[in-house]
Amino acid sequence: DIQMTQSPSSLSASVGDRVTITCRASQSVSSYLHWYQQKPGKAPKLLIYTASSLQSGVPSRFSGSGSGTDFTLTISSLQPQDFATYYCQQSYSTPRTFGQGTKVEIK
């Protein structure tokens, strides 16, 4: 099974900050890497697919990069509505594993 490891597990940031979350796969997943945002009590929402493609309707302050085993989600200027938990997920093979999540909190 491919293990997905996110860092950090949590972070505190202020509105307007640039935030970077990393995701590392235990073996190459090519570009089969996706990012989701989840707010408390809500279903996850797709933000970025295939490592760097912005899902329709997602603000351009979100971006993704990477390929192979190392990936990054960046929020260029954190907004109040961005405080949430973020997950990476690989769809290269089954089981389609998720990272453990990164909780972005208000500083």
Partner 1 sequence: EVQLVESGGGLVQPGGSLRLSCAASGFTFSSYSMNWVRQAPGKGLEWVSYISSSSSSTYYADSVKGRFTISRDNAENSLYLEMNSLRAEDTAVYYCARAWYQLLNALDVWGQGTTVTVAS
Structure tokens at 24: 């590392």
Least Å distance between CB 107 and partner 1? Answer: 23
Instruction: Tell me how crowded residue 94 is: count the other CB atoms within 10 A of its CB.
Output: 9
Q: Which of residues 20-59 bind partner 1 (CB under 8 A)?
A: 31-32, 34, 36, 38, 43-46, 49-50, 53, 55
Structure tokens at 106: 């208000």
- Alpha-carbon distances, residue 5 vs 2, 66, 69, 88 (angstroms): 10, 14, 10, 9
13 vs 46, which CB is nearer to partner 1?
Answer: 46
17 vs 103, which CB is nearer to partner 1?
Answer: 103
95 binds partner 1 (CB under 8 A): yes
Spatial separation of the C-alpha atoms in residues 25 and 4, rounded to whole Å: 5
Footprint on this chain of partner 1 (rule: CB under 8 A):
1, 31-32, 34, 36, 38, 43-46, 49-50, 53, 55, 85, 87, 89, 91, 94-101
